[in-house]
Structure 1
Amino acid sequence: MRWPNGARLAVSVVVNFEEGAEQQVGDGDPQSERMGEVMSVVAPGTRDMGQEQIFAYGLRAGLWRMLDALDRHALPATFLMCGRAVARAPALAAEVARRGHEAAAHGWLWRPHADYASAAEEAHDLDRCIETIAAATGARPRGFFCRGSESAWTRGLLAERGFGWVSNAFDDDLPYRDPDHPALLVLPYALDSNDMKFFHPNGFVRAAEMVEYVGDALDVLLAEAEAGRPRLLNIGYHLRICGRPGRFPAFDRVLARLAALGDRVWVARRGEIAEAWAAATR
């Protein structure tokens, strides 16, 4: 199988648009998100204004730096959008779509869907996420990925709502059909080639470390692709993480490498990757 431009390696650049959808006591949530630049030391149940500001940086400053880099390198991305984040900044979500990027659903809040106590509760939040993204961007999201894990009901709810792909899977280098919901294509994601590792003690410290890591992944998968095996590489970013100046080169330099590879790779939105795979494997 070859991707639409003739390459055997597809690359998906993912940017998470979730700032404002993390749990914060200041937003009426029972607790504030603990993981940021540092682990929060504010007592549970107490408003953590510092953590709010760490997240807010993503939409206030990081988004523009990253959108401009995507323009400069002429590459498309998929933005995983949380509903509450879009509701708070619909003009920014609209700008993402205006610049040609795909908007996918990332849940109403930045939380695991495995935490939902019932299918009805999850469906309610999923519907308002879909509606909010569609109203802001002009397009109903066709793909989904949530923090952590799906619930036992998630994929059934997505299939009922006409979704085409899901990405809560870390088990392959290629897409595959969900056997219980054949209309859904599983488009595996990756957490190793992901800038969340800047927030992990065993992860990246300097931008060059992520650039080198992604470069190694590209080298391995390019060699496999050129030996005739189709492959998919996922690279994940966050506005509040690689939108910061000291980590931004981990975004910009990776985009430059992808652009320089030309038709040896196919850099595409996740929806396009899902559609190409589905068409080739009917």
Structure 2
Amino acid sequence: MRRDLVGYGLNPPRLAWPGGAAVAVSIVVNYEEGAEMAIEAGDPENERIGEVISVVPPGRRDYGQEAIFSYGTRAGLGRFLEAFDRHGVKVSFFMCGRAVERSPELAAECIRRGHEAANHGWVWRPNADYASREEEAAALRRAAAAIKAATGEQPVGFFCRGSPSPWTRELLAEQGYLYDSNAFDDDLPYWDREVKGGPMLVLPYALDCNDMKFFHPNGFVVPEQFVQYAEAALDQLIEEGERGVPKLLNIGLHLRICGRPARFRAVEGILRALARRKGKVWVARRRDIAEWVRGRLPPG
């Protein structure tokens, strides 16, 4: 992929969101539990990032890290689904194929309640790790098949941990994806017209308004900080939208992070903040945002 430092430049498109909303909001919940690197699952190493940095020696099974991840599906998921139902919000789940394969009933329930299943890779790793185009293509298909088998939904969107490979968007186009979210470079969707077999619609994601900041030393400590950050982003983008340039805000969550009781207060606070701005925000699944954009921002 060619790096583009200009994008829309100083002339962004004037997208009109449904109902005259000033900003579109995509809430993403990452469904990764069971797909993290783990000796237990036959991987060559364990995931090291969790509530603390793992101190288990390389090559040995890390029962502690496994338990930290397992909490997400065992206890966190129920909190998320109940809250989304109560607030009437539909979200996108970034689902790793191996995670879905290991807890298919839970993944299916997410979709039964009206949420989206997007492909988050077979395991929780950067697609830049793949040594060949063929290996990556097979992993994409394997993850999509696991998601379809468990939920009945064929994923139309993709996002992997970290970085894609040079071939990722081309493979997504070949496999019929509606959008790619491996981008952090804009507040607006855009078309990548250089993709062979494309163009590919890009719905940028973001890591700043994201609960991973609770795991970073320069990030959030108490839930109120995450809520305040999200509200600041909302209000800034609402003002920009009301001046004529509506944009997209991404809010990223993880079952094992904000699924914990104290941090879930941030989720509740953000959902209430969105409700207070009713009429100014359009909270939607990523596939719905992509469909809306495709009908109003042609690739040509």
Greater than 4 Å deviation, 4+ residue runs: none
After TM superposition, list the pairs within 5 Å mapping 1:137-176 onto structure 2.
137-176=151-190
Give the gaps of 5 or more residues in structure 1. Answer: none
Corresponding residue for residue 273 of structure 2: 257
1:197 is the counterpart of 2:213? yes
Q: Which moved more, 1:179-188 or 1:30-39?
A: 179-188
| Kept in 2: contact 1:83–1:133 (CA 8 A) | yes
Corresponding residue for residue 30 of structure 2: 16
Query: 1:154-180 CA deviation, whole Å, 9 max, x = no partner?
Result: 111110000010111011100000122
* TM-score after normalising by structure 1: 0.99
Let me know the Cα RMSD of the aligned residues: 0.8
After TM superposition, list the pairs within 5 Å mapping 1:214-225 onto structure 2.
214-225=230-241
Equivalent residue of 2:277, what SS?
helix
Corresponding residue for residue 279 of structure 1: 295
For residue 199 of structure 1, report the CA deviation from its aligned partner: 0.3
Q: Distance in 2 between matches of 1:92 and 1:180?
A: 38
Q: Distance in 2 between matches of 1:4 and 1:137?
A: 28
For residue 5 of structure 1, report the CA deviation from its aligned partner: 2.0
Identity of aligned residues (%): 62
For residue 11 of structure 1, report the CA deviation from its aligned partner: 0.3
Q: Distance in 2 between matches of 1:85 and 1:180?
A: 32
Q: Distance in 2 between matches of 1:5 and 1:115?
A: 42
For residue 214 of structure 1, report the CA deviation from its aligned partner: 0.5
Corresponding residue for residue 17 of structure 2: 3
Corresponding residue for residue 31 of structure 1: 45
Q: Distance in 2 between matches of 1:95 and 1:5?
A: 29
Corresponding residue for residue 65 of structure 2: 51
Letter in 2 for 1:103: A
Query: 1:1-53 CA deviation, whole Å, 9 max, x = no partner?
Result: 21122213100000000100000011111100000000000111111000000
Corresponding residue for residue 5 of structure 2: none
Equivalent residue of 1:147, what SS?
coil
1:231 is the counterpart of 2:247? yes
Q: Distance in 2 between matches of 1:54 and 1:214?
A: 26
Equivalent residue of 1:248, what SS?
helix
Count, aligned residues: 282
For residue 230 of structure 1, report the CA deviation from its aligned partner: 1.4
Equivalent residue of 1:247, what SS?
helix
Q: Distance in 2 between matches of 1:262 and 1:220?
A: 16
* TM-score after normalising by structure 2: 0.93
| Kept in 2: contact 1:86–1:136 (CA 8 A) | yes
Corresponding residue for residue 210 of structure 1: 226
